[in-house]
Structure 1
Amino acid sequence: MMRPWLDHYEEGVPRDCVPTNDTLPDLLRRSAEAFPERTALSFIGAATSYRELWQDVQRFAAGLQKIGVQPGERVSLMLPNSPQFVVAFFGTLLAGATVVNTSPLYVPTELEHQLQDSGSETLILLDAFYPRYQQIAARVPVQRVIVTGIQDALPFPKNVLYPLKARREGSWVNVKAGGSVYSFRGLLKGQAPAPQAVTLRPDDVALLQYTGGTTGVPKGAMLTHRNLVANAEQCRAWMTDLKPGQEVTLAAIPFFHVYGMTVGMNLSMLTGATLVLVPNARDIKMVLGQIQASGATLFPGVPTLYNAINNHPDTPNFDLTTIRACISGSAPLPLETARRFRQITGGANLVEGYGLTESSPVTHVNPIFGDQREGSIGLPIPGVDALVAGEDGNPLPSGEIGELWVSGPNIMRGYWERPDETAKVLREAHGQTWLLTGDMAVMDDDGYFRIVDRKKDLIIAGGHNIYPREVEEVLYAHPAVLEAAAVGLPDPYRGETVHAVVALKPGMTATEAEIIAHCRANLSPYKAPRSVEFRAELPKSAALKVLRRQLAEEARAALKPA
């Protein structure tokens, strides 16, 4: 097949990326051997070297084995970005088990579904989340719970002061070890440094990563060691100026989200970077402070995070000029957000990328230093094939809109115990296995791809196809708009009509008429919103992705009484 994007790779990017046979623990072990005294983890004043981290991972794996965790078992992690997450993640894999990433934002019913669906027999969680687990404990297969607290990772005297502060605020949860409940710290410190040897194979399932559930019940994507290692290696190949053992990664995007895990944690472990752990990405002042204090050079993020930094009143008080490269994923990057962030940081290379849970996740990125095309998700990264397919599954020529298909070593094995759902998205064609993304895209003559929108988010008004992203780009260009989403509402005449939901910048004002007039001046009449809803903020996922589907459901529900 034709691959026009290869001619537009910047100098130093390989034309292909053949994955190694390494497993995920191998990435950490190799960096511990190469950079033993380099700081691997920086967490609110506490520093852990690569040598110490590898030792902790081995001890934790031995601890899991001691309490009965067997190879192939599922171990759920319900933790924020913290040293405990990194230790538990690699320790679980070293013991031969499979990690199940679990959002700390889950309510009891969501947690119950995931624990039941994955068959997790072990749950590792923060003490503050324990009451949620207690509500559903009798209905899930969990046999052992390992509990930790933020204070376990803090240096003295913060480890003493934190519980006192939590008690004053009424947020302290005291969980006593005993029976099937274990202390993370006790499990870690009470073990010999080496676990029993377990044979790990690259094609073993390393992770069950649950999709967001916007198209139905969440499904667990089975990602193997090879999938996840390959994607970290592909991202490494794309970043031509990355210096092993010298980079500092600001890890604000949660690791329980596959994007934060791959581009934040795994890429850092592969390259011996210092990982600066931010437990709460919504605390923008903490994010700013950590960038300045650490001299962060790499800052993977999402558009809402960059947008929040652009508009935070304290941003001018911090030095963000050490940032060299930022890959924005998880959601479309508004052009205005990218331009403003580059100004604030003195030219940081903020480029849009693209990926899916099922692809580990990265498949496309704009060149970091080469030809960055605004509004584009960039080029397929080394080792990834991509095409725009018509309804018959055949490739469409450049310039035509169809469904984006991707193929490569980073594509999942399938959905956990969902062969019917797997068959809907994995297809053998043109001599390869393809993942059908469900995203409508177009490729130009040079091999740059642009996402038009989700198939399921398409708004059809009066027979016209309207893609929400195009409307949102115009909304974001309004000087008073901080966040925006466009959704379709039922209309008796047009079938659907465009409804805008916006949050305004602090201190700014705008009326519905002004927003609509702005859109009509920059869009074809049929694309402009017919109504505008103002909110203090837009709902977001744990990875700070605006929940457009939720907004659509709420807007439609509000129409029913009328």
Structure 2
Amino acid sequence: MRGHYSDIWQAVARAFPDRPAVVTPEEVLTYDRLVTEAGALAGHLRTQGVEPGDSVAIFSYNRPEYVVALFACFACGFAPVPMNFRYRPAELRPLLEDAEVRTLIHPRSLRDVVHEAVDGLRLPLVEIDDTGDGPVPTADLPDTTPWDKATSGEAPLPATPPAGGELRLFTGGTTGRPRAVVWDAADILDVQMYSIYGTAGLPMPATLDEAVAVAADPATPATVSLPLAPLMHGTALFTSMNTLALGGSILMLPSPRLDSEAAARFAVDAGATRIVVAGDAIALPLVEAVESLGLVPFGRVASIISSGMRLSPQVKRRVHDVGDIAITDLLASTEGGPYAVNVTRSADDLPGELRLLPGAVVLDEERNDVAHLEGGRGILGFRGTLPKGYFHDEQKTREAFPLIRGVRHVVPGDWAVARGDGTVELLGRGSAVVNTGGEKVYPAEVEQALLDHPLIVDAVVFGMPDARYGEVVTAVVATPDGEPVDDGELRAHLDARLAGYKRPRNVVFRSTLDRSPHGKVDLARLKAAVAPQIDPSIAPTGTMRVTK
């Protein structure tokens, strides 16, 4: 069924206005209220000059307002642009400019970051009061409208969106500066049909009426999703959108930081059936909380979905041990896919197999698909429904979405070996990207931030293995005398330039990096040399260990 999420959401709201759409520990947003607030917000955005095709940035952690903003944008043909709320001003501003953002929605707690980032842009803002400080005099913030005011009017949503609606979803910066991937709004629903209906064994609707009938059918399992990964990540975003298509409920803990014990209790109390995580970084503290609180079996949780980083067999085993939980471990990218999935339903299934999904291929050096060959080695690709490309970047679009024998593909750079039975062994990505807690960090950016310090003359950045986060960002840095820069001074220097997850958790100082005559660093040797100096007992989040 080709169509729009907003059409299904509005139809579900008409059929079941009092069903809970978004639930937090403090409030319940019914489908009727969701539609009402989305219409009011859309009306406000139009008064600010936002038109179909314009970008609307959402710079926020998971909150009910996030869903309202998505709904308003999709229904009116505005392009929602989820932004990483961990970005600092210097990181946020160029992305706002790249995406040609016309207005920005943010919580008050991020006001300082936003105001510095938009300085001189004269960008209308909508501010969510997440601090409880009450209204702010409009004279003090002339370009800012409080959320309550922006959603206080009455404006019906269009019956169906105008043609050409898009989602502009930024990558994590795997190959440098993040780029906005442009998805046609109607294509997203087409891509997600199997995830919405097929994975649950439900009939695939061909019409809007049939979609509502599936949501209304008492035999349709109630879907209550708790996205613990941020909605700026595609898996959390699409899973939440799919939940509303089924007439289900999205649970949210409105906090920029994971409180694993609060999440475990809320999942049980609110009847979560599905939880979205980002690898061990979220799954491990969650299952530890479940165990320590004695919440076994883990409520009604029947499914955990992960994408974006490694979910280890050890953590999966602990998840299976706390309930009858199926774990879906996806390999996907912002540019397309998913490419492969590892599904385990009990500890007996571990470690499981990474099985290619329809549309996925393994391309050898001649770009032949060798997925059917045992031992076939190549780069994973996908040739199903794909995004339009990168926003206003035709060259990078051609590179990332090559036409192979007349068929458009996306090839993100993951190498794999095919087993000949539809499964593959993942070898890793050819680039030097560091994947830490589901966030992708490009070493060159961190190296440049380090080199901006007047006492640092050389630097190399790479990932080192970590049991919880998959990898942690590590830097080996040279100063003229090999002495470390003061810890607090270096932290302040990097904090002004990098989001917290990009900052090295380990910094080792030397007098030289022993580069070759060609300027190369032997990374394998360097990693082996610094490994004994890295203390694995240090919690990566919020810490930085400087050693010599």
Q: Structure 2: 5+ residue runs without aligned partners?
A: 203-218, 435-463, 477-512
**Count of aligned pairs:** 454
Q: Take 1:294 and 1:487, find their aligned partners in 2: how far apart are those partners?
A: 36
CA deviations 1:517-545 (Å, max 9, x no partner) are: xxxxxxxxxxx9964612522359xxxxx
Partner of 1:497: 524
Matched, 1:286 2:262: yes
* Residues 57-456 of structure 1 mapped to structure 2, 5 A cutoff: 57-140=38-121, 142-150=122-130, 162-163=132-133, 174=136, 176=138, 179-192=142-155, 194-195=156-157, 199-201=161-163, 204-241=164-201, 244=220, 246-263=222-239, 265-280=240-255, 282-303=258-279, 304-312=281-289, 315-319=292-296, 320-343=298-321, 345-359=322-336, 362-367=338-343, 374=351, 376-380=353-357, 384-396=358-370, 397-409=373-385, 411-456=386-431
- The more displaced of 318-327 and 287-296 is 318-327
Offset of residue 298 of structure 1 = 0.8
Q: Take 2:391 and 2:180, find their aligned partners in 1: how far apart are those partners?
A: 5
Instruction: Pick from 457, 471, 490 the counterpart of residue 485 of structure 1.
Output: 471
* Secondary structure at 1:86 match in 2: helix
Offset of residue 217 of structure 1 = 1.2
Per the alignment, do residues 278 and 438 of structure 1 end up closer, same or farther by CA in structure 2, a change over 3 Å counting? same
Instruction: Pick from 537, 540, 546 the counterpart of residue 539 of structure 2.
Output: 537
CA deviations 1:401-457 (Å, max 9, x no partner) are: 311011212x21101111111111111114421101211112222212332211114
TM-score by length of 1: 0.73
* Secondary structure at 1:327 match in 2: strand
Offset of residue 342 of structure 1 = 0.9
Per the alignment, do residues 147 and 259 of structure 1 end up closer, same or farther by CA in structure 2, a change over 3 Å counting? same
In the alignment, residue 231 of structure 2 is paired with which amino acid?
Answer: F
* Secondary structure at 2:376 match in 1: coil
Partner of 1:507: none
Q: Take 1:440 and 1:375, find their aligned partners in 2: how far apart are those partners?
A: 19
Q: Take 1:316 and 1:179, find their aligned partners in 2: how far apart are those partners?
A: 48
Offset of residue 48 of structure 1 = 1.6
CA deviations 1:193-214 (Å, max 9, x no partner) are: x14667523xx25211111113
Q: Take 2:533 and 2:201, find their aligned partners in 1: how far apart are those partners?
A: 45
CA deviations 1:436-479 (Å, max 9, x no partner) are: 121111222221233221111499xxxxxxxxxxxxxx977xxx
Offset of residue 94 of structure 1 = 1.8
Q: Take 2:524 and 2:514, find their aligned partners in 1: how far apart are those partners?
A: 6
User: Equivalent pairs: percent with the same residue?
Assistant: 20
Q: Take 1:330 and 1:224, find their aligned partners in 2: how far apart are those partners?
A: 22
Q: Structure 1: 5+ residue runs without aligned partners?
A: 1-19, 152-161, 164-171, 460-473, 501-515, 517-527, 541-550
Per the alignment, do residues 317 and 491 of structure 1 end up closer, same or farther by CA in structure 2, a change over 3 Å counting? farther
Per the alignment, do residues 73 and 530 of structure 1 end up closer, same or farther by CA in structure 2, a change over 3 Å counting? closer
Per the alignment, do residues 257 and 483 of structure 1 end up closer, same or farther by CA in structure 2, a change over 3 Å counting? closer
Offset of residue 492 of structure 1 = 7.9
Contact 1:63 1:191 in 2 (8 A): no
Q: Compute the RMSD of aligned alpha carbons.
A: 3.3
Q: Take 2:423 and 2:44, find their aligned partners in 1: how far apart are those partners?
A: 48
Contact 1:74 1:100 in 2 (8 A): yes
Contact 1:77 1:85 in 2 (8 A): yes
Offset of residue 318 of structure 1 = 2.6
